[in-house]
Amino acid sequence: MGEVSLLEVNSTSYQVCEYSKTDDSGDGYSGDGVVKGVGGWFCRPGQHGHNIPFAEIVHNTFHIAQLIFEIRSEGSEINLKRASFYSRSKDEFIPFGNERRRGLVSALPGSDITNISQEQTKEVGSSTTLECSTTNAESLVMWLKYDTNHFSNPIFISAGTALLVPDYRYSLVNSIENKTFMLKISDLQVSDTGTYKCRVTNLSTNNTFTADVNMTVRVREPVYILDNSTSSIVVRQRESVQLECYAGGYPSPRVYWRRENMALFPSGESIFRGNILTIQSVTKFDRGRYYCLADNGGNMTARHTVTLRVMFPPNVEGPTPGSENDTLIENVGGTLKLECTTRDSEEYPVIWVKVDPGNPTFPNLLSIGSSLIFYDNRYNVRSINRSTIQLKIWNLQLSDAGTYQCLVSIAKGVMLIADLIVTVREPAYILDNSTSSVVAHQGDLVLLECHSRGTPPPRVHWRKENKGSVLNISSIRTEDRGLYSCTAENGAEDPAQWRASVHVHFAPILTVSQPQVRQALNHSMDMECRVQAYPAPVITWAKDGVQLSDSQQHSTSQYSTAEDFLDTVLRVLITDSDQYGNYTCNAANDLGRAEGQIELLEVSEPVCPPACNVPQFNITQITDILHN
């Protein structure tokens, strides 16, 4: 079995193909170019001399039909130009009527078709089988396709068992016994959509006729969005805008629009149907995402996102993080971050300037957009997003304090401004010329000074509930002596501290806690005095007017219990009754002297303390102590 080859056809040409059958005796009928005695379709050389192999179709009757095909130069289409059949009575080929030349589209009476496939809908890439059954196995079955856009110009796919189109996706399965003829098409494409006709020519009668039955095959193609759809668009406020969305697929898809978050369209509806969505006089509330949805009744829906951005005069939002009453406070050495947002209006560049309090008429230009104009390695400006510009300053100094303004120029001479006052705090500290120590006499005027610095100026107070940087004591007393603490604070860091000591000169003040003490013979006893004085006094002990010095019978000690306070103790080891009597404690400094009397009395039983902690002495031991 041969097949029609179209690969060698370079331009439009006409090929004559004839069908000839022989009888059992070998006698045959032939037309132009037909080899007698061989049954089948024969094609003779065309006008360009290209041979086309024949496709043999075996039948058992004596009939000749002649078809002339037009072969396109691309080799993808064969169209019937003229059809004729052989008449025994006239012994010649007689053309069909003009109404049948372009495809023999009318069915003649006596159709032998008993069954044919119904209309089919398939997906791209799938396969289909078209079936046509006849009552007469002697019939010539042909498959034709009518494109939906060119119904008057059919494509001949097959004749009998011969394929007339060079497409590997086509195949024929014919069963002569069952009188069934099937056309199979694999890997379906959208171009396979159309009307397919099973054409049966009864060759067993003297007058050949055809009978046509139509079948429609629809190849469903998934929906897809075409590249000429709008992707994103930027418009100015009050302009009109068209959002376009086009989709492909088979059947032709339906297109409709939705907004992000189910927002309403200007018409008040949540869905707009159609390829072109028009919005008149756009406002900033129309900006956002628009979704184009397309479907054709299949399982999948195609979606396309269109972003609409609207440019409008900005609403400047000044830097506010950590600020209060449009004022931001940072410490020296810290980092300052200022952000200015203009909300979807990036066509207007953000300008940062600094207004110094001493020269407000001529502000310092810091940056334009994301470009730094003021060159300082501590400064940086960058774009956070499309609508926010951040100004950042490291290692803040006192000179960085002032008013920072975010400017946006929307027209000549028209500025939108947002400003913020920046205060740079310097931690409080106390100067070395503050009072550290002072010595005065009772009744003197004493000034304690605490001098501090910082930004803002620190608050100063003294510890003894006296506020202010200077503590004024108009007539100092002995009880005013001691340590005074000055505290300076301005909120920047921990308060600064300073201490000043106050000393008051005064004569000794002496007190005796026990004017009379008692102790048994051969035991020891302590006598104590407390002295207040500045400067420190000289302390002595005496008995009966005679000053005592340390010995085996007497020992003295003194220690400080607080500033300007001294305690002195005389310990007496009683070995003789003469040691009972009056003892005197004396304290003296440049400003005066003081004394106190303590009487030591004899008792029979020892007094504890301190006697309980001191061993008792007999006469021999006492004698040894006195003479050693």
Question: For residue 593, what are the domain limits?
Answer: 513-623
Nearest in space to 318 (alpha carbons), one of 358, 366, 351: 351
Task: Evaluate whether 450 touches 498 at the Cβ level (below 8 Å).
Answer: yes
The CATH number of the domain holding residue 450 is 2.60.40.10
- Dump pLDDT digits (tens) for 550-574: 888 889 998 887 777 889 999 999 8
Task: Evaluate whether 606 touches 519 at the Cβ level (below 8 Å).
Answer: yes
What pLDDT does residue 216 have? 67
- Dump pLDDT digits (tens) for 51-67: 333 232 222 222 334 44
Tokens of 554: 């007497």
- Dump pLDDT digits (tens) for 497-522: 888 888 889 899 999 989 999 999 88
What pLDDT does residue 569 have? 93
Average pLDDT (225-238) is: 89
Which range is most confident: 31-45, 183-197, 277-291, 406-420? Answer: 277-291
Average pLDDT (106-116) is: 55
| DSSP characters over 103-123 | T--SPPSS--EEEE---EEEE
Q: Is 463 left (phi over 0), alpha (psi -120 to 50) or beta?
A: alpha
- Say whether both 23 and 87 belong to one domain: yes
- Say whether both 129 and 207 belong to one domain: yes
What pLDDT does residue 230 have? 92
Task: Evaluate whether 367 touches 408 at the Cβ level (below 8 Å).
Answer: no
Residue at 148 is within a domain? yes
Tokens of 370: 């994301």
Residue at 316 is within a domain? no
Task: Evaluate whether 451 touches 431 at the Cβ level (below 8 Å).
Answer: yes
Q: How far apart are CA 254 and CA 562, in angstroms?
A: 101
Q: How far apart are CA 297 and CA 91, in angstroms?
A: 58
* Distance, C-alpha 543 to centroid of its chain: 95
- When divided into structural domains, the chain yields a total of 5
- Dump pLDDT digits (tens) for 113-137: 777 777 777 888 889 888 888 877 7
Whole-model pTM over 0.75: no
Average of per-residue pLDDT values in the chain? 75
Those residues whose C-beta lies under 8 Å from the C-beta of residue 56, and which sit 6 or more positions away, are: 1, 2, 38, 39, 40, 41, 162
Lowest mean per-residue pLDDT among 49-53, 186-190, 459-463: 49-53
- Which of 311, 344, 368 is where one domain is finished? 311
Those residues whose C-beta lies under 8 Å from the C-beta of residue 313, and which sit 6 or more positions away, are: 237, 345, 348, 410, 416
Residue at 319 is within a domain? no
Residue at 355 is within a domain? yes
- Which of 505, 526, 547 is where one domain is finished? 505
What pLDDT does residue 444 have? 87
Q: How far apart are CA 218 and CA 221, in angstroms?
A: 9
pLDDT-derived band of residue 303, with 50, 70 and 90 as boundaries?
very high
Lowest mean per-residue pLDDT among 109-113, 454-458, 499-503, 549-553: 109-113
Residue at 8 is within a domain? no
Q: Is the pLDDT of residue 257 over 90?
A: yes
pLDDT-derived band of residue 601, with 50, 70 and 90 as boundaries?
very high
Lowest mean per-residue pLDDT among 310-319, 448-457, 547-556: 310-319
Nearest in space to 418 (alpha carbons), one of 320, 300, 507, 287: 320
Q: Is the pLDDT of residue 256 over 90?
A: yes
Residue at 105 is within a domain? yes
